[in-house]
Chains A and B, each alone.
Chain A
Amino acid sequence: MDKLGLDPHVVRRARALAARAGQPVVDLARSHTTVSVERAVLRLAGVSGADSDGIPWVNRLVDAVRADVPLGRGVALPVFHALATHGVEDVTVLAQKAAAGAVTFAVPESKAEVAAARRAARRATDAGLKLVDRRRAERDRLIKRYGDPQQRPWIYLIVATGDIYEDIPQAQAAARAGADVIAVIRSTGQSLLDYVPEGATREGFAGTYATQENFRLMRAALDETSKELGRYVRLTNYASGLCMPEIAALAGMERLDMMLNDSMYGILFRDINPIRTFVDQRFSRQVHARAGIIINTGEDNYLTTADAVEAAHTVTVSQLLNEFFAHEAGLADWQLGLGHAFEINPELPESFRLELAHALLARELFPDAPLKWMPPTKHMTGDVFRGNLLDGFFNLVGALTGQGILLVGMMTEAVVTPWLSDRDIALQNVRYVLNGAGNLHEDFVPAPGGFIQSRAHAVLGEAIELLERIVDDTMLTAIADGTFGIMKRPADRGKGLDGVARHEDGYYNPVTEALES
């Protein structure tokens, strides 16, 4: 390591600034709750299924509680108090009764009642967390039995047919062809649904809905394939959008292995309310930490909207913030798939050296994180021959800079959803580079004071300047003013705001209590 000669004081300063910029956001997250956090609590407590219109019982139950008790009190106490007073045993049954208007909710008043409701809530959610723990132990066992991929980076491939029963054979074929990680892309717009759809789904828009049953089906299929291949094949989905905490809980209960989870993606690209996002994100990351899930952050997205050279430092800033938020939520370095991408205009002179400098900077700033390296998309034109060459150079940067997770680039990016042959050619490209140059990083040392070193230092310097500005302005103001990307996202606007509440006296969340103990 230490190929860039970064000054450790400068690196420490960057981290300290990220912590100062991020701390007010953490404080905000710790003092608020959201409908989705509360629904995740109920899912872990055992509420499952949906009504005949497909509205999940957790949604019906939280809505019913909210009609009687302010959200800022949390739903755990009213729900478990109601279980006791109505003599109902099962929380899903309570949800059904509540949906029919047969239950009135209240926060228990006497100390004894509060203590009883807390105990009951904690017992129920602990059972959910125990399931998450069992899944994690199961993963450890399977990895021991079947083994990890032999090479780094792990090879990450996407499937997205919209039909889970089509996705399964495609995912299995991709794993047999060499994929170590399978990501099932979600249906367009799922991030804006304020509920998690139920059951196995066969219709989606450019992707497949994330549901508990779809998670279960795909994980079971990949377990079969892992056994067949003698290599544990990992499964990825997306904990983003309005239901981030619930998706995180479901992922933990169904043994997903990686989740996309970015600190600002929903705010900037989906116009989700900033406070909603930060509250949901902290909770979901706490659940991921418990579940042993590796998060993938979304810095690649900045580069698809902004210029990849001019905005290089915004990637570094976002990585530092994502790292701070992740550590604060209890995630370890090995769980931080911090994102970055090969998106510099290939017509630009020295574009490849710039890419190398940026990728190496990320590597050296986060030596213990399995960085997620994202392929070119913005400058893929439909010229598939040129695209294949570009992907080869992308793969080479990945090998030269020790990236942890490599999302396989498709030469047909921006043309069609990948064909079988596109995927095969793309994997051949990856194999050639890793086989021929996988250890080249041992010999590759940029010249001291040369182009690559200087560029990396310059980007880190710009990142520090931006962080200083964010510390001065506060992060919410920076987001409101359009500092990230070009989007202005004020804290009092955006989707999902009505599902946010400040904690009131006596707020109780048994899951947060367990995860923070």
Chain B
Amino acid sequence: MTIVRPYGDTTGDGMVQLSFTLPIPHDKRAEGAAVQLANRMGMDPALLVHAKAMGDGFTFFVVYGRVSHLVDTDKVQVVERDFPLLSAKEVNAVIKRRLRRRLNVVGACIGTDAHTVGIDAILNVKGVAGEKGLEYYRELSVTNMGAQVSVPELVEEARARKADAVLVSQVVTQRDAHLQNTRAMTAAFREAMPAGKRPLLIVGGPRFDELMAGELGVDRIFGRGTTPREVASYLVHALVGPSNHPAAAPERTEGQS
């Protein structure tokens, strides 16, 4: 059977729960408004089970009700990233097992860009959004060169550290500085090291188009909202080979409007 509906306590009852806040004081009209919203979201009947005033002009509601929508599991679209998302433990385990040494990462903000927010979010232990940065991964050896690093310095450091991967963050985009800096960086690495000896080149920043990797000569571009775990997973995927770990389920999104 591919057609399903939500399950409360009886097959086919279509029951769901919903909570939300409306920016209006709590009274009869507010409760009516909450039921109307639930109705418009497809809940019919909608049973308002809880309403509570919060501060001056807000009310919180909990609604239980039946939805008439059906879901066809055959028509669910799954968007897969082209590498599995691993936990820190899995990343460490794969590197240890396959590479048998620590994986060397060198990161920097190049050019005049002094915004280390991005590179620090990815590299510092502190991390971002509750995820620890790459420094936290035991099997990654991380060198964070900080801001305003020149391209020759970066190439030199990458060579000295035997970098497996170079991470460059670019936040400032005035006069396309991020694109020019990235091109200068990839050209320098191509000049300094033969193919096959070059580290994996990765850039990140809020204004990059993730599809421009080829054009800029980098192996991968990460855009806004990238987390350290995604970068670590990608490093493992690209440098150590695919993991066969079953827990690495891709993220799923339904075909929603």
Contact partner, B117, options A188, A305, A495, Cβ 8 Å: A188
- Among residues of B, the one whose C-beta sits closest to the C-beta of A423 is B54
User: Is A462 positioned at the interface, with any CB of B under 8 Å from its CB?
Assistant: no
User: Is A177 positioned at the interface, with any CB of B under 8 Å from its CB?
Assistant: yes
> Are B21 and A268 closer than 8 Å at their CB atoms?
no
Beta-carbon contacts under 8 Å, B39-83 to A? 52, 54-55, 58, 60
CB of B93, distance to nearest CB on chain A (Å): 16
> Are B55 and A421 closer than 8 Å at their CB atoms?
no
User: Is A461 positioned at the interface, with any CB of B under 8 Å from its CB?
Assistant: no
| A487-B135 contact in complex given A377-B130, A414-B130, A421-B60, C-beta closer than 8 Å | yes
CB of B191, distance to nearest CB on chain A (Å): 30
Complex Cα distance, B131 from A377, in Å, reads: 11
Complex contacts, B55 vs chain A, CB 8 Å: 173, 176-177, 420
Complex contacts, B125 vs chain A, CB 8 Å: 268-269, 271, 305, 485, 487
What per-residue 1/0 map shows which CB atoms of B187-201 lie under 8 Å from chain A? 000000000000000
User: Is A205 positioned at the interface, with any CB of B under 8 Å from its CB?
Assistant: yes
Complex Cα distance, B126 from A304, in Å, reads: 10
Contact partner, A424, options B20, B60, B117, Cβ 8 Å: B60
- Among residues of B, the one whose C-beta sits closest to the C-beta of A427 is B54
| A189-B117 contact in complex given A173-B55, A419-B21, A421-B60, C-beta closer than 8 Å | yes
User: Is A486 positioned at the interface, with any CB of B under 8 Å from its CB?
Assistant: yes
User: Is B226 positioned at the interface, with any CB of A under 8 Å from its CB?
Assistant: no
Contact partner, A270, options B117, B124, B128, B136, Cβ 8 Å: B124
Interface residue tally on A, bucketed by range: 20 to 34
Complex contacts, A419 vs chain B, CB 8 Å: 21
Complex Cα distance, B145 from A495, in Å, reads: 10
> Are B136 and A192 closer than 8 Å at their CB atoms?
no
> Are B146 and A188 closer than 8 Å at their CB atoms?
no
Beta-carbon contacts under 8 Å, A381-423 to B? 413-414, 419-421
> Are B130 and A192 closer than 8 Å at their CB atoms?
no
CB of B196, distance to nearest CB on chain A (Å): 31
- Among residues of B, the one whose C-beta sits closest to the C-beta of A177 is B55
- Among residues of A, the one whose C-beta sits closest to the C-beta of B144 is A271
Complex Cα distance, B120 from A189, in Å, reads: 7
Complex Cα distance, B144 from A176, in Å, reads: 44
Complex Cα distance, B20 from A424, in Å, reads: 12
> Are B146 and A495 closer than 8 Å at their CB atoms?
yes
> Are A486 and B138 closer than 8 Å at their CB atoms?
yes
- Among residues of A, the one whose C-beta sits closest to the C-beta of B119 is A189
Chain B interface, DSSP helix/strand/loop, else mixed: mixed
CB of B250, distance to nearest CB on chain A (Å): 17
User: Is B132 positioned at the interface, with any CB of A under 8 Å from its CB?
Assistant: yes
CB of A427, distance to nearest CB on chain B (Å): 10
Complex Cα distance, B130 from A341, in Å, reads: 15
Beta-carbon contacts under 8 Å, A339-391 to B? 377
Complex Cα distance, B60 from A421, in Å, reads: 7
- Among residues of B, the one whose C-beta sits closest to the C-beta of A172 is B55
Contact partner, A269, options B52, B117, B124, Cβ 8 Å: B124
Complex contacts, A487 vs chain B, CB 8 Å: 125, 135
What per-residue 1/0 map shows which CB atoms of B127-151 lie under 8 Å from chain A? 0111010011010000010100000
User: Is B36 positioned at the interface, with any CB of A under 8 Å from its CB?
Assistant: no
> Are B136 and A421 closer than 8 Å at their CB atoms?
no
> Are B21 and A188 closer than 8 Å at their CB atoms?
no
Complex contacts, B144 vs chain A, CB 8 Å: 271
Complex Cα distance, B52 from A177, in Å, reads: 13
Complex Cα distance, B254 from A417, in Å, reads: 24
Complex contacts, A377 vs chain B, CB 8 Å: 130
Beta-carbon contacts under 8 Å, A421-435 to B? 421, 424-425
- Among residues of B, the one whose C-beta sits closest to the C-beta of A169 is B55
User: Is B116 positioned at the interface, with any CB of A under 8 Å from its CB?
Assistant: yes
Complex contacts, A176 vs chain B, CB 8 Å: 55
- Among residues of A, the one whose C-beta sits closest to the C-beta of B19 is A421
Complex Cα distance, B55 from A192, in Å, reads: 37
> Are A188 and B58 closer than 8 Å at their CB atoms?
no
Complex Cα distance, B123 from A487, in Å, reads: 12
- Among residues of B, the one whose C-beta sits closest to the C-beta of A174 is B55
> Are A205 and B60 closer than 8 Å at their CB atoms?
no
Beta-carbon contacts under 8 Å, A59-107 to B? none
In the A-B complex, the 4 residue pairs with the closest CB atoms: A189-B117, A269-B126, A424-B54, A421-B60
- Give me 26 A-to-B residue pairs in the complex whose CB atoms sit less than 8 angstroms apart, sorted by A's number: A176-B55, A177-B54, A177-B55, A188-B117, A189-B121, A205-B117, A206-B129, A268-B125, A269-B124, A269-B125, A269-B126, A271-B124, A271-B125, A271-B144, A305-B132, A413-B130, A414-B130, A420-B54, A420-B58, A421-B20, A424-B52, A424-B60, A425-B60, A485-B125, A487-B125, A495-B146
**Which residues of B are in contact with A by a Cβ distance under 8 Å?**
19-21, 52, 54-55, 58, 60, 116-117, 120-121, 124-126, 128-130, 132, 135-136, 138, 144, 146
